[in-house]
């Protein structure tokens, strides 16, 4: 029987911003291989929690222990995706470094190999998100964090998107934390739900 390896351990985490309590004594344990949905309405502290996990914010109190430094991150909406700047799929991915062989691997893995020479702004919202996932996967992360990845994407593309995440979770053993405000959709797609709104 496999031993369950903890990948993130958060204990009694609190975060105060401009005298407002955003997170209060929040605890969470993420196990390797988890496909976790972190949900809650706007202002519930989801993005704050992500930024603390990613090391972009310091908690006011509490402990955050990351047992893997190999983290891939897909932001809520990459600003340049709809900017009109001429940047190809390959260029977006290679920004993060990596050799041609590695870039090829993530292009295949995310199913966008045929779009490599296309401009990012010519792709649909769902395809653009695949590009950002491909970039996040370049350095073989153990944990993939996605912040509201399906905002502005139609339901068919959303289904395909969740299929890709499920494939990465099962076949690659990737631990996934997905942040969303859409409880109805996310609870059908992930294995565990943490609802920040109920805290």
Partner 1 sequence: MEIFQYSFMIRALIAGLIVAVIAPLIGNFLLIRRFSMVADTLSHIALAGVAIGLLTHTQPILITTILTSMVAILIEKIRTSQKIAGETVLAMFLPGGLAVSIILISLANGFNSNLFSYLFGSITTVSSAEIWPMLILALISLAIVILLYRPLIFSSFDEEGAKLSGINTKLMGYVLMTLTAITVSLAMRVVGILLIGALMVIPSVTGMKIAKSFKQSFFYAIAFAMAAVLIGLVGAFYLNIPAGGAIVLVSLAIFGLTSVSLSK
Question: Cα separation of 54 and 76, whole Å?
Answer: 14
Alpha helical stretches, state H, the chain: 46-53, 89-94, 100-109, 125-137, 155-171, 183-189
56 sits near partner 1 (criterion: CB under 8 A) = yes
Question: Cα separation of 180 and 61, whole Å?
Answer: 25
Complex with partner 1: residue 13 or 50, whichever CB lies closer: 50
119 sits near partner 1 (criterion: CB under 8 A) = yes
- Judged by CB under 8 A, the stretch of 1-9, 34-42, 69-77, 182-190 that binds partner 1 is 69-77
127: nearest Cα among 144, 104, 150 = 150
Complex with partner 1: residue 71 or 164, whichever CB lies closer: 71
For the chain, the first-to-last Cα distance in angstroms comes to 34
Complex with partner 1: residue 91 or 163, whichever CB lies closer: 91
Question: Cα separation of 83 and 119, whole Å?
Answer: 11
86 sits near partner 1 (criterion: CB under 8 A) = yes
Shortest separation between residue 52's beta carbon and partner 1, angstroms: 13
Shortest separation between residue 177's beta carbon and partner 1, angstroms: 14
Which residues bind to partner 1, rule: CB under 8 A?
Answer: 54, 56, 71, 73, 75, 78-80, 83-88, 91-92, 94-97, 117, 119, 135, 139
């Amino acid at each position: 029987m496999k031993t369950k390896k903890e990948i993130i351990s958060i204990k009694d985490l609190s975060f105060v911003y401009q005298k407002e309590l955003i997170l209060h004594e929040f605890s969470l344990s993420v196990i390797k291989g988890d496909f976790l949905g972190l949900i809650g309405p706007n202002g519930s502290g989801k993005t704050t929690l992500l930024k603390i996990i990613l090391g972009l914010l310091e908690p006011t109190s509490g402990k955050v222990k990351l047992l893997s430094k190999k983290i891939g991150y897909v932001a809520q909406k990459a600003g340049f995706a709809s900017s009109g700047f001429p940047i190809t799929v390959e260029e977006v991915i290679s920004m993060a470094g990596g050799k041609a062989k590695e870039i090829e691997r993530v292009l295949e893995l995310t199913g966008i190999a045929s779009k490599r020479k296309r401009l990012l702004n010519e792709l649909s919202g769902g395809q653009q998100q695949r590009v950002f996932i491909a970039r996040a996967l370049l350095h073989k992360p153990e944990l993939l964090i996605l912040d509201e990845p399906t905002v502005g994407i139609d339901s068919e593309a959303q289904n395909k998107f969740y299929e890709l995440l499920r494939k990465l979770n099962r076949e690659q053993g990737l631990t996934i934390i997905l942040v969303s405000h859409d409880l109805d959709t996310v609870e059908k797609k992930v294995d565990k739900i943490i609802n920040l709104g109920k805290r």
